[in-house]
Structure 1
Amino acid sequence: MLSTGNMQQVVKHSMAYGYIISQPFSFYVDSYPMLQNEVFQNAEMIVAYGEHNEAVRVLQDKLNFLSYYDKELDGEFGIFTEFALKKFQIEHNLSITGKADEETINTLVNDERRKYLDPLKDIDRTYYLGEQGEGIKVIQKALYYFGYYKGEIDGIFGPNTNKALMYYQQDNGLEVKQEINQQTVQTLQTESETVDNAIQPAQTEAANQEKKDVPAKSEEKVQVPTKDVAQTFNTSELIKSAKTHIGTSYVWGGTSPSGFDCSGYIQYVFRQFDVSLPRTVSDIWNMTKQVDQPSIGDFVFFETYKRGPSHMGIYLGNKQFIHVGVSTGVAISNLDSSYWSQRYLGAKRVVIQK
């Protein structure tokens, strides 16, 4: 899934946002690297030989960028993709499986991030509108990575670069100026370090438990209601309604039975029972009430490709929840699976404020 919350966080003011939101998922797969990672982080599968899907296409694109794969980006996991992946695994001292398992994906995403963002460390001057240079190329690549710049990496500080830069400055609380200054560069570097930490695989069982017990604080901006009353919707009917959509395809930005994304599905199901929810995962997290253990109809939240809640589902009981995945569409998954258990943040409940 690509939660619209994640999308808006990354490209909410991108000059391309209005265009790409109306495009098919294939456009998104070819889009900004940080957004491509969402395919991997939420695929809930190991990409392997013989598969043909968008996750394979993203894999090929990243291997191509890192100079391991030079064939067509066709989404077909054939002999050339397997060879490129094994070469990558050999050079990074990984298990040589020829499969895009979690360890391989995290290493791949880290390598790509470093190639895009490490050169930021070498920028030691201010660039002004109209200038050209290698430093401007570095900034263009960083803005592209985070979803703000869509254009040729030409090293020219022209209108396109300026527009992307100004939107980035605005989104990050910086003074909006027609210059690439050290404050902007340092913010990009800090953000790149945050992304690097967020995509690291879990190291120990203790670390996983800590992640479960301590939800991310950076997302918490909306006050949770202090007083609540009984839910006004029928939980069993809500679950029954939610299950009628099993098999519905994932559609980026989708909010209807013709296709859902993660938060679009949640919002649609609850709207049928006159419960109004925000449009993004992070906002739903912020306006709901923490519970120690989920009950049927509660929300379960997960941390996927970045820090904080970025995926969610509706709890069904018996460790099961219903949600929307990129590869599965609307489907039922288990909280105890190896994939979801290490990403689980906690459960929250819709409350009605008096």
Structure 2
Amino acid sequence: MLNGTVESIAKNTLLYSFVLSQPFAVYAGAYPIFENKTLLEAKELNYGDHGEAVRILQFKLNELSYYNDKVDGELGVLTEHAIKKFQRDHNITISGQADKETIYALIEVDIDNHLKRLERLSGSVYPGLRGEDVKIVQESLQYFGYYEGEIDGIYGPLTKKAVEIAEERHNIDFLDEAPKQSLSTMYESQKQTSTIPNTKQSNVKSVSVKSNYSSIIQTAYAYIGTPYVWGGTSPGGFDCSGFLNYVYSVNGITIPRTVSDIWNYAQPVNSLSVGDIVFYQTYKPGPSHAGIYLGNGQFIHAGNNGVEISNMGEAYWQQRYLGAKKIGG
């Protein structure tokens, strides 16, 4: 079933003949669907094997953080060890051989990762938008053979056509147009005031709450490892604000649904304390991600890898930090 799907996608794209004429170094990572086809045709890779299929295997294992050595096309001890680690994590007989079951599992993980990227960004890209998020969407659309244009970060006609195919085949809903208040308007507002724009008034009535931060943090810890799901609000899967909503509701406290509304609803703090909500500007101007501060520079949140603990000192978070607020008095 998987083999037929990959074959179909590969042969129905205009890039197929071009890619097959190029050396591995030219398209490694750029056209993953063709790498999948090469792996499927290899059927099984064993210790001592070498060639393009092995290089692709090493590349994919490296992308998934199982293989950290040189991608040289030689299936040696380190590659065999990486295969065993992957097999162990995916309940496959640990043999060190990239057999059919292992290759299929590797490709399924690859496909699932690209679908999750499309689902995660479906609510933040729209026709006319330019930027890194559009590039990520284009890369995943290209992976499935739906997009045949340049990865340029511009949501133009080719991207729109590819998005429509993805929506139909994978039941993903993208935005048809820009939000009523465009991101550029929000950005200009932010530059003029040098503060976070009050993008929307909260409908939640403000009440004085003496928050039991110990209980809230204990609840949050209980859901570490829960997968990230765009729009998720339950233990089956959370997005960042859905996670906060659930954790607070378990403790008898109602807060707004979106990060921007939580920002407007919460109370300012003079200094960061355990239990405060920390806010970040990620995929759009203004507060778009949040988590609960745990102390020692760490916070718990529903990130791309699911509910996890992250370090605020990491470059990614440090550069996007907006500030902290608290719920209640």
TM-score (norm 1): 0.46
Which of these two proteins has the greater Rg computed from alpha carbons?
2
The one of the two structures with greater contact order (alpha-carbon pairs below 8 A, sep at least 6) is 1
